[in-house]
Amino acid sequence: MQWFNLFKANLRKEYIEMKRYLPNTLALLVTFYVIFLAAFFGIMFIGDPASFDVNVQYSIVSVVFWSLTMMTMNFIGFAIITEAMRGTLEQLYMSPLGVWKIMLTRIIGQFLLQFIIMIVLLFAAMLTSGQWLSLNPMTTIPIILLTMFSMVGVSFMIAGLAIIVKQIQAFLQIFQFVLMGLVFVPISVAPFLELAPFVKGVNMVRIVMMENLTLTQLPWFDFVSLVTNSIVYMALGLIVFHRCEKIAMKKGLLGQY
């Protein structure tokens, strides 16, 4: 019940902020849609006509998941920066529940809201291009939920850095292009990327949506790799976050900005 109340409060907080700053939310959606249009028209004018449909479908999934991964993985870092700027970061540390639990429920709530935005962006992209992908929620949603754990783990690592350094906006701006490369480059071209966070999950969802597959049609090894990847990065994220917390407390950095 304690976890549920914490999640409900943070989900409500994230919804109110998105609603209150609606122009910013809409601008975010429009920005990613314009990025898709740039990719779509680029493929239309200079791409290979023989593989046009496949390239457009690939771009749709990649842009949508780039938006989801970027907003999820940067979220806790931005939340820490915002709390520090508002002078409320120390107040969070007074909670008996612990900051990591607050941030975890907050990012889950944010993920659900961003997932809705992702669906809107996905349908807008498919409607514009005329390329309709297989959504198959019974297959895609479990894979996305498993993939989310690795995203959250990296987000905790970034948050740990933010607790100590405070100003990491420049790093996050650069990081979004790194995420773009990880999302757009297929594992078949660079197999070592399977070790990176979330890449395996994005690749699996892309295959499912483009080839209309079900869970039983995917290799069992893919699920083993995905689950292992998610557990490892989630654990590393929490370890790094707690370690950075201890460093910040030892140096008296929590109350500084």
- Under a CB-based contact definition with an 8 Å cutoff, are residues 172 and 158 in contact? yes
Would residue 35 count as lying in a domain? yes
Looking at the domain assignment, is residue 141 inside a domain? yes
Q: For residue 257, tell me if it sits in a domain.
A: no
238 within domain boundaries? yes
Looking at residue 152, its pLDDT comes to 93
**Rounded distance, CA 208 to CA 194, Å?**
17
Calpha distance 65→253 (Å, rounded): 35
> What confidence score (pLDDT) does residue 35 get?
84
**Residue of 27, 30, 53 lying closest to 40 (CA atoms):** 53
Would you put residue 197 in left (φ > 0), alpha (ψ -120 to 50) or beta?
A: beta
| Owner of token pair 């902020």 | 17
**Domain-located, residue 129:** yes
Tokens 């508002």 -> residue: 86
Distances from the Cα of 44 to the Cα of 55, 133, 246, angstroms:
10, 18, 53
Where the chain has pLDDT below 50, the residues are none
- Provide the pLDDT for residue 48: 66
Q: Is 56 part of any domain? A: yes
Structural domain boundaries, residue 104: 2-251
End-to-end CA distance of the chain: 34
Q: How many residues does the chain have?
A: 257
- CA–CA dist 166, 85 (Å, integer): 9
In a domain, 144, yes or no: yes
Asked if residue 51 is part of any domain, the answer here is: yes
What amino acid occupies position 234? Answer: M
The reported pTM is 0.88
Distance CA 201, CA 227 (A): 9
Identify which of 169, 170, 164, 200 has the alpha carbon closest to the alpha carbon of residue 182: 200
pLDDT score of 174 = 84
**CB proximity list for 64: less than 8 A, separation 6 or greater:** 32, 36, 118, 121, 122, 125
Let me know: does 226 contact 147? Beta carbons within 8 Å. yes
Radius of gyration, alpha carbons of the chain: 19
Task: Write down the pLDDT at residue 232.
Answer: 96
pLDDT number for residue 49:
66
Provide the token pair at 123.
Answer: 């349908």
Number of domains in the chain: 1
pLDDT at 156: 94
